[in-house]
Structure 1
Amino acid sequence: MKKGFSKLFLVVLSICLLVGLNGCGNSDLKAEDKVQTRVIVDAAGNQVEVPMEVKKIGVVPIPWASVIYCIDNSSARLSAMNPSAMQAYKGHFLESMDPEYGNISTACIGSDLSINMEETAKNGVEVMIIWDYQEAEAAQLKEVGIAPIMIKNETIDELQTSMKIIGELLGKEERAQQFIDSYTKTYEYMKAKQEAVKTADKPRVLYLRDAQLKIQGNDNFMREALELAGADNVASQVKSNATMEEILAWDPEIIFLSNFDEFEPEDLYKNTIPGQDWSSISAVKNKKVYKTPLGIYRWDAPGVETPLMMKWMAQIIQPDIFNDEDVETELTAYYKDYFNYKLSAKDMALILSEDANKQSQ
């Protein structure tokens, strides 16, 4: 019995091994075919499961396609973006630095931050970057198998945290930290000047987002930047739009024009905007209206170039205090260090809106 049992055991064992080699081998193959994942904690504190290697990313927040581009140092993984962000690309500096960026789809995302879930899924997007308040969109994205990553950027701290999350998502933690360190260095530089700023005369500054008098300088981020630069931000408490009557009463001495609109200093100097009269405004009479720079993205939105923006703005507002660093020199070094790109004179002119600002002093 023992001998017969041993033979039977060996036969059964051989069959099991054969079945295991075939059946289990197939099972292992299927396991390998499955996408391996990892967990990232987003800016809202959500634990989000994402592919180990993310290949296709969609971006709802307008400035953040540029942030991903800069941290990844490539547009290869950007698959869908806000059409408003693409408007800052066409005909501007980045178009010459990266022609492929213009091929990113804008069909899945609306200018109103809406998401076409069906088109996004067809596009193959694996991860969608969204604002922290877009909870309904996050739930819908999960339903179609797309990982939602929430970000914030109302303050410098929130921006830096969100950059760190993007670095983790891309597997580019060290490069993300370099951009974060750039913020820290600039912030410390600005803070070190605050004793002089406190005692200086603060010019009245108006920051406009568009020709309809929507205010750009009233959000937390830009409000702090203007304060650090030594400005009397006349419209800091305006919730949305100012009126021409209010602007006349404020009589700003410096006006910044956002790149979210096509208006330029000449429109104010020549008084060509219908229904508005700028002729008596000090900034207009003294030719101190400035179009904001636009490089990788619009400088007046939180992004990787904001440290450059803070210094550019400070040198206009308080030139006697912020006079120890040259923006053009820093800009040249910035693109060389971060993108291994040598700026030409044409590039510099495009970024700094030199043509638009040629009449400004």
Structure 2
Amino acid sequence: MPGPTVPSPDVSRRRLLGGALAAATLPILGTACGRAEPAAGTGDGLRVTDLTGATVELPRPARRVVTIPLPAASMVVAVNGGPEVLAGMNAASRTAIEGSFLGTAHPELLKVPTEVAGAEFAPNVESVLALEPDVVIQWGDRGPGIVEPLRKAGLTVARLTYGTQKDLEGAITLYGKLLGKQQRAEKMVNGMRTALKRLRGRLPASGAGAENAPSVLYLRGAADGLQAGGGASYNHYVTELVGARNPAARVDDEQVTIDREQLLKWDPDIILLGNFGPAAPKDLYAEPALATLRAVRERRVYKVPLGGYRWDPPSQESPLMWQWLAGLVHGTGAPGLRDEVVRQYAFLYGAEPTAAQLDVILRTKANSGSRDYDDFGR
């Protein structure tokens, strides 16, 4: 999950302090207010500023989009209000869609070409050209080597920075302008800000990040190693947002590889297993070397949900992640979360998940052996 290490000045890394979270559903979608800066001229097409500050010009709103960064595919679908604009995506993006609610709601996404990039997001220029995109979405903070080949081939590129709440809101706004869906994008961004405000209003003014706050460690979920979310990660931001503490906060990086000795030394109250690998709570519970770990002893290891996209990195579903984690940290069980997922998905993807699908999204089976998860979100 690549991204910048510089936090958002307005909402990233703010030291929110904890306490018990009042049990309440957090409305995510706000009413669009104000007016977005116009992206279209009267007769000159679109002139849009991407997240690196560069100008992107299109003769009309994009109708064919290729996405190379992992989170971009599902976010473009959500901002557009449907999958028809997605002409190509990274293979790892489709991995998250396969077997997910988004793949069920829009099975045509499983047929979208994925040969658009190789290792480290290097573009497969010939494959991208064959898809005839109006615009290609690419990282803007990983060097010119993954951007210039696309531009030299005559392709229009819009670049992303990634990793903070500000970047997330900026990406949604960017897609809205590129697709001619500014009002829809604005509604999504305003809804996130409303959810942040209401969540913060339910937390006392001191405690987040403090030594006595519950500790939550995010592990990427890979079966072949332990990668923790450091102090520059979005996982750190979300942890402090809900009034908890990240034991890896002093590591000024997005991800850090650790060994079992370090994990035991940090001894977190809660461990979150991400969706970038198959690791499940049962794997940690069955590991003799981790038997003394507090989160293992108290059965507080949880697989992070996956819906339209993985809930661990920043995406259009991040407010649901905030609500889910707050329920775990404060023992409230996130009442109303299931209803909120249904409401959100109806807006984002045009389909409402069934009770059985909600269980899959919230990882009910994987988390069945973990504390207080039987009725989570009800």
Q: TM-score range by the shorter chain?
A: 0.7 to 0.9
Q: Map of 1:2-17 to 2, 5 A cutoff?
A: none
Q: Which residue of 1 aligns with 2:362?
A: 352
C-alpha distance after superposition, 1:142-175 (max 9, x if no partner): 2212111012232112211221111000011111
Check 1:36–1:110 CA distance in 2 against 1; reply closer, same or farther (3 A cut): farther
Check 1:105–1:172 CA distance in 2 against 1; reply closer, same or farther (3 A cut): same
C-alpha distance after superposition, 1:93-139 (max 9, x if no partner): 22211100111111121252110112211221221111122433332
Select the residue among 285, 290, 310 that pairs with 2:322: 310
| C-alpha contact 2:121 2:146 (8 A) present in aligned 1 | no
C-alpha distance after superposition, 1:234-274 (max 9, x if no partner): 11233421121111111111100001111100001111xxx
C-alpha distance after superposition, 1:12-61 (max 9, x if no partner): xxxxxxxxxxxxxxxxxxxxxxx974321111111122231322211111
Counterpart amino acid of 2:271? I
Q: Does 1:291 align with 2:307?
A: no
Q: Does 1:148 align with 2:157?
A: yes
Which ranges of 4 or more aligned residues in structure 1 deviate by more than 4 Å?
none
Q: Greater CA deviation, 108-117 or 253-262?
A: 108-117
Counterpart amino acid of 2:180? G
CA distance in 2, matches of 1:217, 1:311: 21
CA distance in 2, matches of 1:231, 1:94: 30
User: Identity, % of aligned pairs?
Assistant: 30
| C-alpha contact 2:71 2:315 (8 A) present in aligned 1 | yes
| C-alpha contact 2:51 2:170 (8 A) present in aligned 1 | yes
Q: Greater CA deviation, 143-152 or 233-242?
A: 233-242
Q: Which residue of 2 aligns with 1:57?
A: 65
CA distance in 1, matches of 2:286, 2:245: 25
Q: Which residue of 2 aligns with 1:268?
A: 284
| C-alpha contact 1:37 1:49 (8 A) present in aligned 2 | yes
CA distance in 2, matches of 1:260, 1:349: 20
CA distance in 2, matches of 1:232, 1:137: 36
Select the residue among 170, 181, 188 that pairs with 2:190: 181
CA distance in 1, matches of 2:119, 2:195: 32
How many residue pairs are counted as aligned between the two chains?
321
Q: Map of 1:92-107 to 2, 5 A cutoff?
A: 92-107=100-115
Give the drift of 1:196.
5.7
User: SS state of the match for residue 105, structure 1?
Assistant: coil
CA distance in 1, matches of 2:231, 2:67: 25
Q: Which has the higher helix share?
A: 1
Select the residue among 275, 300, 304 that pairs with 1:259: 275
Q: Which residue of 2 aligns with 1:4?
A: none
Q: Map of 1:202-351 to 2, 5 A cutoff?
A: 202-209=213-220, 210-211=222-223, 212-238=225-251, 239=253, 240-271=256-287, 277-319=289-331, 325-351=335-361
Q: Which residue of 1 aligns with 2:23?
A: none
User: SS state of the match for residue 45, structure 1?
Assistant: coil
Give the drift of 1:197.
5.4
| C-alpha contact 2:173 2:186 (8 A) present in aligned 1 | yes
Find the structure with the greater CA-based Rg. 1
Q: Structure 2 unaligned segments of length 5 or more: list them.
A: 1-42, 372-378
Check 1:351–1:114 CA distance in 2 against 1; reply closer, same or farther (3 A cut): same
User: SS state of the match for residue 283, structure 1?
Assistant: helix
Root-mean-square deviation (Å): 2.1
Q: Structure 1 unaligned segments of length 5 or more: list them.
A: 1-34
User: SS state of the match for residue 215, structure 1?
Assistant: strand
Counterpart amino acid of 2:302? Y
Question: What is the TM-score when the length of structure 1 is the normalising length?
Answer: 0.84
Check 1:260–1:360 CA distance in 2 against 1; reply closer, same or farther (3 A cut): same
| C-alpha contact 1:154 1:221 (8 A) present in aligned 2 | yes
Q: Which residue of 2 aligns with 1:161?
A: 170
Give the drift of 1:279.
0.9
User: SS state of the match for residue 49, structure 1?
Assistant: strand
Counterpart amino acid of 2:281? P
Counterpart amino acid of 1:100? E
| C-alpha contact 1:51 1:126 (8 A) present in aligned 2 | no
Check 1:117–1:338 CA distance in 2 against 1; reply closer, same or farther (3 A cut): closer
Check 1:297–1:175 CA distance in 2 against 1; reply closer, same or farther (3 A cut): same
Q: Which residue of 1 aligns with 2:376?
A: none
Q: Greater CA deviation, 301-310 or 223-232?
A: 223-232
Question: What is the TM-score when the length of structure 2 is the normalising length?
Answer: 0.80
Q: Higher relative contact order at CA 8 Å, sep ≥6: structure 1 or structure 2? A: 2
| C-alpha contact 2:46 2:61 (8 A) present in aligned 1 | no
C-alpha distance after superposition, 1:201-257 (max 9, x if no partner): 412221100331111354342211101112121112334211211111111111000
CA distance in 2, matches of 1:76, 1:345: 27
